[in-house]
Amino acid sequence: MKTFLMTLLGFLAWTGVTVAQPTSTVPLEWIDAATGHKVVRLTRSGTDNKSFYFHNSPFIKSLDGKDDLMIYAGTADRRRQFFAVNLRTLESVQLTNRPRGASGEIVDKVHREVIYQRGDSIFATHVDTRQTRLLTCFPGELGASISTVNADGTLLAGKYSEEKKAQEILAQYPEKNQYFNRIYDAHIKHYLFTLNTRTGEMKVIHEENEWTNHIQFSPTDPSLLMFCHEGPWHKVDRIWTIDVNTCEYKLMHQRTMDMEIAGHEFFSPDGRRIWFDLQQPRSVTFFVAGVDVRSGEEIKYELARDEWSVHYNISPDQTLFCGDGGHEGSVAKAPDGKWIYLFRPDGNRFVSERLVNMRDHDYKLEPNVHFSPDQKWVIFRSNLFGETHVYAVEIEKAK
């Protein structure tokens, strides 16, 4: 495979495509000695490339519909910008060139735009033409941020809060283990809002004195929005949905025992279920659970301590799951949990397969696994070799 990739790079260079040469210390690909699976580096230039957070879909079809593109964040002139890599050719192109960089990570597949934020301004850049439009500017004192786009590309959703109180806590207690409980205990008022992608009209749909986070639109229902109550997981009933038209909201999972935790929630591809990490109780018994958004019916799959992962994801056909493992200091306290995992449901349990040895990965950078659209690869980000790059591990074992 290495010979093939080098041949491909040479061919692209011959045809006039600009190809960055691989960093000498970071391999283009290898066969994981511990698992037998092939790993390929998807990002071929730069040293700080990150794939999206696990519940934000980064994929969009090429304009001709033949290939899959993946949007990712990289650095150009020391500023964070967005790029698109063709998952077949591995050719990357830079999409944005904002003078002050670009934050966020939203792909509107309907309008073929990457939507992002810079300060109080929201921009949208077309994946194919690279044309950029200003969608709206928030009042500077609002401190609003956007997180997600709905299924038909008509609405964005985000939040803002009584930011001054949170800023005071963060300034005094900058580390997560310092501020997490304090912001929760402060019960700062948060507001959920929608934003029309064409007109920029902003509408507040919910407010409460809870730390609101992890805002996600359903991939199929344009009116269904999920959000969470952030804070210590054993203290919160975390997972909620709200209808953006009626503003009716509903708890998705009720805790049933002391120290039970549920979180890192995400929608199934068909929008029928919300999946999440469930521990009953915390750091003792581990599950991946799914709740039907309409009926409330739950199913759950048990897994071992070492198999627990910071984040999970589900394949496009919903037959497979994956996880990004965890280090010894994570909630599971797993002695041997630093792996990229593939999970196959079997009755009420997961049968796991290790795909990548993450022994040398620093889990301060969360790998955030995704299945590729063709379901042949699990994509993740890693600093295994010092630099941060995006990788793909083949689900089928190397021959």
Mean pLDDT of the chain: 92
Please report whether residue 91 resides in a domain. no
Please report whether residue 345 resides in a domain. yes
Please report whether residue 289 resides in a domain. yes
Yes or no: say if 148 and 159 are a contact pair by the CB < 8 Å rule: no
With a cut of 80, say whether residue 339 has pLDDT above it. yes
- 373: number of Cβ within 10 Å: 18
Please report whether residue 398 resides in a domain. yes
Please report whether residue 277 resides in a domain. yes
The pLDDT confidence band at residue 17, using thresholds 50, 70 and 90, is very low
Please report whether residue 354 resides in a domain. yes
Please report whether residue 79 resides in a domain. no
Q: How many domains does the chain contain in total?
A: 1
Whole-angstrom Cα distance, residue 192 to residue 214?
A: 11
Q: What percent of the chain has pLDDT over 90?
A: 85
Range of the domain at 35: 1-57+269-399
With a cut of 90, say whether residue 383 has pLDDT above it. yes
With a cut of 50, say whether residue 368 has pLDDT above it. yes
Angle at which helix 176-186 crosses helix 163-172, to 10 degrees, equals: 150
Query: CA distances (Å), 353 to each of 21, 263, 376, in order?
Result: 33, 23, 14
The pLDDT confidence band at residue 318, using thresholds 50, 70 and 90, is very high
- Residue 9: the pLDDT is 40
Strands (E), 168-260: 190-196, 202-208, 212-217, 224-229, 239-243, 249-251
pLDDT tens track for 121-175: 999 999 999 999 999 999 877 889 999 999 999 999 999 998 677 778 888 887 8
Please report whether residue 260 resides in a domain. no
- Residue 352: the pLDDT is 98
- Residue 24: the pLDDT is 57
pLDDT tens track for 86-109: 999 999 999 999 999 999 999 999
With a cut of 60, say whether residue 227 has pLDDT above it. yes
- Higher-confidence residue of 300 and 10: namely 300
Contacts of 85 (CB under 8 A, 6+ apart): 42, 43, 69, 70, 72, 91, 92, 390
